[in-house]
Structure 1
Amino acid sequence: MKVRISFLFIVGLLICRVGWAQNQNPISIGVTYQGGQVLVHSAKIRHLRGVQPQGIELNLQSQTTGTKFWHQLYRYPRLGISLIAFDYREPSLGKSLAASIYLNKYVHQGPQYTISVRIGTGLAYFSNHFDRKINATNNVISSPLNAVIQLRTEFERRISPQFSVVAAAGINHYSNGGNSKPNLGINIGTLTLGLNYHSQAAFEPLVQPWPMPGHKLSFIMSGSVGVKQRNDFDTATYVVKSVAVGAMQQINPKSTLLVGLEGFYDPSLFPRRNWDPRVKPGTTPDIKRVALNFGHELTIGKLGFGTYLGWYAYRPYKSDAAFYQRLEMRYPLTHNIYVAAGLKLHDFIKADVIEYRLGLRLWKH
Structure 2
Amino acid sequence: MFFYQSGFAQVHLPLSLGVTYQHGLVLVHSPKIRHLQGVQPQGVEINLQYQTTGTKFWHQQYQYPRLGLSIIALNYKEPTLGKSLAASIYLNKLIHRQKQHTLSMRIGTGLAYFSNHFDRRLNATNNVISAPFNAVIQLRTEYERLINSTFSVVAAAGINHYSNGGNSKPNLGINIGTLSLGVNFYSYRTIDRLVQPWPVVNHPLTFTISGSAGVKQRDDFDTVSYVVKSAAIAAMRQLNPKSTLLLGLEGFYDPSLIPRRNWDPRVKPGTSPDIKRVAFNFGHELAIGKLGFGTYVGWYAYRPYKSDAPFYQRLEMRYPITRFIYVAAGLKLHDLIKADVIEYRLGLRLWNKQK
Superposition TM-score tier, normalisation by shorter sequence: over 0.9
Alignment of 1:146-185 (within 5 A): 146-185=134-173
1:324 partnered with 2:312: yes
Name the residue aligned to 1:90.
78
Q: How far did 1:39 drift?
A: 0.1
Query: Could you state the TM-score of these two structures normalised by the residue count of structure 1?
Result: 0.93
1:157 and 1:149 mapped to 2: Cα distance? 26
Task: State the SS of the aligned residue for 1:123.
Answer: strand
What residue is the counterpart of 2:93 in the other structure?
Answer: 105
Q: Which residue of 1 aligns with 2:352?
A: 363
Which 4+ residue blocks in structure 1 deviate beyond 2 angstroms? 212-215
Mean CA deviation greater in 201-210 or 218-227: 201-210
Specify the code of the residue in structure 2 equivalent to 1:192. Answer: S
| SS in structure 1 of the partner of residue 34 of structure 2 | helix
Counterparts of 2:158 and 2:266 in 1: how far apart (Å)?
42
Q: Deviations over 1:175-224 (max 9, x none)?
A: 00000000000000000000000111321100111113556100010000
Identity of aligned residues (%): 78
Q: CA–CA distance in 1 between the matches of 2:103 and 2:231?
A: 42
- Backbone CA RMSD of aligned residues: 1.1
Q: Which moved more, 1:207-216 or 1:181-190?
A: 207-216
Match of 2:183 in 1: 195
Task: State yes or no: 1:59 paired with 2:51.
Answer: no
TM-score by length of 2: 0.96
- Name the structure 2 match of 1:266: 254
Residue from 207, 211, 215 that aligns with 1:219:
207
Supply the distance in 1 between the matched residues of 2:328 and 2:352 (Cα, whole angstroms): 18
Q: Is the 8 A contact 2:12 2:188 kept in 1?
A: no
Other-structure match for 1:80:
68
How far apart in 2 are the matches of 1:54 and 1:118?
A: 20
Structure number with higher helix proportion = 1
- Aligned partner of 2:244 in structure 1 is 256
Partner secondary structure for residue 159 of structure 1: strand
Give the Cα–Cα distance (whole angstroms) in 2 for the partners of residues 219 and 288 of structure 1. Answer: 24
Matched, 1:292 2:280: yes
- Structure 1 distance, partners of 2:13, 2:108, is 21
Cα distance in 2 for partners of 1:335, 1:214 equals: 13
- Aligned pair partner of 1:115 in 103, 108, 120: 103
3-state SS of paired residue (2:189)? coil
Aligned AA for 1:267?
P
Which amino acid in 2 is paired with 1:128? Answer: N
Which amino acid is the alignment partner of residue 68 of structure 1?
Answer: K
2:284 and 2:276 mapped to 1: Cα distance? Answer: 26
**1:363 shift after superposition:** 1.5
SS in 1 for 2:148: coil
- In the alignment, structure 1 residue 136 sits paired with structure 2 residue 140: no
Q: Is contact 1:25-1:64 (8 Å) kept?
A: no
| Contact 1:256–1:297 (CA under 8 A) maintained in structure 2 | yes
Question: 1:270 and 1:213, CA in 2 relative to 1: closer, same or farther beyond 3 A?
Answer: closer
Equivalent-residue separation in structure 1 for 2:213 and 2:192 (angstroms): 45
Distance 1:66 1:277 in 2: 60
Describe the superposition over 1:84-112 as per-residue Cα deviations: whole angstroms up to 9, x where unpaired.
00000000000000000000000111111
Instruction: Tell me the distance in 1 between the aligned counterparts of 2:353 and 2:343.
Output: 27
Of 340, 344, 348, the match for 2:336: 348
Q: Which runs of 5+ in 1 are unaligned?
A: 1-22
| Structure 2 unaligned regions, length at least 5 | 1-10
Q: In the alignment, which residue of structure 1 is the partner of 2:15?
A: 27
CA contact (8 A) 1:63 1:77 kept: yes
